[in-house]
């Protein structure tokens, strides 16, 4: 048995019962990383010896009858933007060179739960774009077809999970950066409610646009990880109230009969979903009706989130750039983004945050009539690698617009939203749909996503070593 093929939920049962050691699990994961990462470039750093030492300590704890955590013996990878003790927090670039002394709170919680941190994963600099290519890190490739991008900005995270190197990897979402790579790579990716997960050591992530979360091959694995990392610190600018029940309980429950509205109406004028994506929404709507839900086509009446999103995005990039050790080492395009954002003064930013609250009120009116909104996750099909990484900030923003058209709105509003796989398109790459819920209602999305997973499943990559 190669434990690298198992979901985290199974690994926890095996390691906690003593049927498999954490050392055996981490060796399987490291062997996968050694064989598969060179062709994919998912990992920027592999922490092999640290992971082995941590696994040995867990095995001793298990043998001594100690208290074992909910992620006991599970290999987990961490996106470059999160602090891991002894590693440089690169944000996908060369602006920092000094390793951090301590884990960020999310990583600390993962370790306390028994997770084995095996490395850090690639991202575009500061997570600006929905693909994963950078001057420092090169090109990260989609395990389903290496000529295509895995999406971004959590592209390394997605490639690591989809290729079976780890069952859980932590990403972040400031405009779709969990959901887009999940859609490109056939994974489950839930962006939680704003403030659900601490932003430590930072006060906020892009003034509330951004949040941290896992990408996984199963809904339950995501629920397990979220129950470990969710919760706030006093330093967090944005917080969320405790959910009514654990996410594990939600993922293991029946969602009941829900009112589900579906729509292929574009958020951004002139952007239409690829036929495969529009068809996936309609097919999923039919399946949900067969499962007993009240399903109807709706016009969500989307407000335009562009103004607040652009201001928060630019201000977020500038804040992260200002914190770098060496501004001059940043990519030329990032420095151009920095200059373009100079108009976002503190006063303009506060106005943008107020405007975002108004956008949220308008966008959430759709939930007066439905419990869940079903839409495409992305507009176009996944692009080939290198196709997007040409041009300056404005050019890149225009090219990225169709990709984030259905995701970025929910970063402005703070709603939870999940990308759920639906199958494969004729091009051999995954297809997905997006489920959006009321603010604070991740539990409904987890229960509904798990029901879809049981009803039709979704394809897992079986040959990630192919060219």
Please give the residue that has the higher pLDDT: either 296 or 388. 296
Residue 461 binned pLDDT confidence (cut-offs 50, 70, 90): confident
* pLDDT per residue as tens digits for the range 232-267: 999 999 999 999 999 999 999 999 999 999 999 999
Torsions phi, psi of 236, nearest 5? -75, 130
466 has a pLDDT exceeding 60: no
211 has a pLDDT exceeding 80: yes
Specify if 413 maps to a domain: yes
Query: What would the mean pLDDT of 209-225 be, rounded to a whole number?
Result: 98
Q: Domain limits at 58?
A: 6-456
Residue 458 binned pLDDT confidence (cut-offs 50, 70, 90): confident
Count the neighbouring beta carbons within 10 Å of the beta carbon of residue 199.
Answer: 24
Tell me the average pLDDT of the chain. Answer: 96
Query: What would the mean pLDDT of 281-287 be, rounded to a whole number?
Result: 98
Long-range CB contacts (within 8 A, 24+) of 232-236: 232/195, 232/198, 233/105, 233/198, 233/200, 235/200, 235/201, 235/203, 236/195, 236/198, 236/199, 236/200, 236/203, 236/204
* pLDDT per residue as tens digits for the range 136-185: 999 999 999 999 999 999 999 999 999 999 999 999 999 999 999 999 99
Sequence-ordered list of residues with C-beta below 8 angstroms from that of 97, at least 6 positions apart, any chain: 88, 325, 326
Query: How many folded domains does the chain comprise?
Result: 1
Q: What is the pLDDT of residue 464?
A: 62
Q: What is the pLDDT of residue 22?
A: 98
CATH number for 267: 3.90.1300.10
Residue 467 binned pLDDT confidence (cut-offs 50, 70, 90): very low
Query: What would the mean pLDDT of 48-59 be, rounded to a whole number?
Result: 98
Q: What is the pLDDT of residue 459?
A: 85
116 has a pLDDT exceeding 90: yes
Q: What is the pLDDT of residue 465?
A: 62
Specify if 466 maps to a domain: no
Q: In the chain, what percentage of residues exceed pLDDT 90? A: 95
* pLDDT per residue as tens digits for the range 128-140: 999 999 999 999 9
Residue 388 binned pLDDT confidence (cut-offs 50, 70, 90): low
Specify if 200 maps to a domain: yes
Q: In the chain, what percentage of residues exceed pLDDT 70? A: 98
* pLDDT per residue as tens digits for the range 304-352: 999 999 999 999 999 999 999 999 999 999 999 999 999 999 999 999 9
Residue 390 binned pLDDT confidence (cut-offs 50, 70, 90): confident
Query: What would the mean pLDDT of 189-206 be, rounded to a whole number?
Result: 96
Specify if 229 maps to a domain: yes
Q: What is the pLDDT of residue 374?
A: 98
Specify if 217 maps to a domain: yes
Specify if 367 maps to a domain: yes
Specify if 211 maps to a domain: yes
* pLDDT per residue as tens digits for the range 67-93: 999 999 999 999 999 999 999 999 999
Specify if 465 maps to a domain: no
- Closest-CA residue to 77 (of 39, 35, 38, 32): 32
* pTM (two decimals): 0.97
Residues catalogued as catalytic: 79, 153, 177
Query: What would the mean pLDDT of 371-384 be, rounded to a whole number?
Result: 97
Q: What is the pLDDT of residue 414?
A: 98
């Amino acid at each position: 048995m190669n434990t690298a093929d198992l979901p985290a939920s199974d690994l926890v049962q095996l390691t906690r019962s003593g049927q498999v050691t954490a050392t055996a699990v981490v060796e399987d994961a490291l062997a996968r990383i050694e064989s598969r990462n060179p062709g994919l470039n998912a990992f920027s750093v592999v922490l092999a010896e640290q992971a082995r030492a941590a696994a040995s300590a867990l095995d001793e704890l298990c043998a001594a009858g100690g208290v074992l955590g909910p992620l006991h013996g599970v290999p987990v990878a961490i996106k470059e933007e999160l602090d891991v003790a002894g590693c440089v927090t690169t944000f996908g670039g060369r602006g920092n060179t000094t390793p951090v002394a301590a884990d960020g709170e999310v990583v600390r919680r993962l370790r306390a739960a028994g997770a084995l941190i095996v490395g850090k994963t690639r991202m575009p600099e500061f997570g600006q774009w929905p693909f994963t290519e950078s001057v420092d890190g090169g090109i990260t490739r989609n395990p389903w077809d290496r000529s295509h991008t895995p999406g971004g900005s959590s592209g390394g995270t997605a490639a690591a999970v989809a290729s079976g190197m780890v069952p859980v990897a932590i990403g972040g979402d400031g405009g779709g950066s969990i959901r887009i790579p999940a859609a490109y790579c056939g994974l489950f990716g839930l962006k939680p409610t704003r403030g659900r997960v601490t932003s430590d050591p930072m006060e906020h992530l892009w003034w509330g646009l951004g949040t941290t979360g896992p990408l996984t091959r199963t809904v339950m694995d995501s629920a397990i990880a979220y129950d470990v990392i969710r919760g706030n610190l006093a330093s967090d600018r944005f917080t969320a109230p405790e959910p009514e029940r654990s996410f594990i309980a939600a993922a293991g429950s029946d969602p009941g009969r829900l009112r589900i509205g579906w729509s292929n109406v574009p958020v951004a004028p002139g952007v239409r979903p690829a036929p495969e994506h529009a068809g996936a929404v309609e097919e999923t709507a039919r399946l949900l009706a067969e499962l007993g839900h009240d399903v109807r086509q709706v016009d969500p009446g989307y407000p335009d989130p562009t103004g607040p999103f652009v201001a928060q995005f630019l201000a977020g990039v500038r804040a992260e750039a200002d914190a770098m050790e060496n501004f001059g080492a940043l990519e030329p395009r990032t420095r151009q983004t920095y200059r373009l954002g100079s108009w976002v003064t503190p006063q303009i930013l506060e106005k943008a945050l107020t405007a975002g609250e108004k956008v949220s009120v308008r966008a959430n009116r759709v939930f007066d009539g439905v419990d869940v909104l079903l839409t495409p996750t992305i507009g176009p099909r996944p692009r080939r690698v290198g196709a997007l990484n040409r041009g300056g900030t404005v050019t890149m923003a225009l090219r990225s617009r169709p990709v984030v058209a259905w995701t970025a709105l929910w970063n402005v509003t703070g709603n939870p939203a999940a990308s759920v796989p639906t199958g494969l398109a004729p091009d051999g790459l995954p297809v997905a749909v997006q489920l959006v819920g009321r603010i604070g209602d991740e539990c409904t999305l987890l229960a509904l996503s798990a029901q879809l997973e049981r009803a039709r499943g979704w394809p897992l990559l079986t040959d990630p070593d192919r060219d």
